[in-house]
């Protein structure tokens, strides 16, 4: 059976608005989820988001949801680098931000759709495993950027 989703939650010692900026602004997004170069992003539903993922190549994604400062999501291909996300080849990455009551933020990431990928079961399971291993490091980079920014 192919696992369908990945869920991770982290606490960030920064206000929701600051976390939203690091999550969505081109320079920050490229730093915590790319090679360090700013990403290309059209921050609206249906807009294009392009990551330079170094050895993994350029990865286009489509913005799905933009509800500042609480909800941001994109859909990206799990196939070859450069492949546009479409039905049967993409997963949905969704970030939900909530205030934690102390001035900080609780960020929840859910990436879903692995079981519906048009890939052989072993490849879909491998992709789920690779993404599961990579998200903690990406989220730690995001947290570090959020907590180092001066108010």
**pLDDT attached to residue 88:** 87
Domain ranges (residues) in the chain: 5-148
- State phi, psi for 36 to the nearest 5 degrees: 110, -20
pTM value is: 0.93
149 band by pLDDT with thresholds 50, 70 and 90: low
Closest by alpha carbon to 4, among 114, 79, 143?
114
Which of 3-12, 23-32, 53-62, 83-92 shows the lowest per-residue confidence on average (mean pLDDT)? Answer: 53-62
pLDDT tens digits for 118-145? 888 899 999 999 999 999 999 999 999 9
Q: What are the angstrom distances between the C-alpha of 35 and each of 14, 23, 55, 90, 115?
A: 24, 15, 9, 22, 29
Sheet containing 58-67, strands listed edge to edge, beginning at the edge strand earlier in sequence: 5-12, 105-112, 90-99, 71-77, 58-67, 48-52, 40-41
Domain boundaries 5-148, CATH class: alpha beta
**pLDDT at position 14 over 90:** yes
């Amino acid at each position: 059976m192919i696992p369908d989703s990945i869920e991770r939650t982290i606490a960030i010692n920064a206000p929701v608005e600051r976390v939203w900026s690091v999550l969505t602004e081109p320079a920050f997004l490229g730093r915590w989820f790319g090679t360090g170069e700013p990403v290309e992003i059209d921050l609206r539903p249906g807009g294009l988001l392009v990551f330079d993922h170094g050895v993994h190549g350029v990865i286009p994604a489509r913005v799905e949801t933009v509800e500042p400062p609480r909800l941001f999501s994109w859909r990206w291909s799990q196939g070859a680098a450069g492949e546009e996300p479409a039905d049967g080849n993409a997963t949905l990455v969704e970030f939900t931000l909530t205030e934690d009551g102390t001035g900080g933020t609780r960020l929840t990431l859910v990436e879903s759709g692995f079981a519906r990928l048009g890939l052989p079961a072993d490849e879909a399971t491998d992709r789920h495993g690779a993404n599961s291993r990579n998200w903690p490091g990406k989220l730690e980079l995001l947290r570090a950027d959020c907590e180092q920014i001066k108010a």
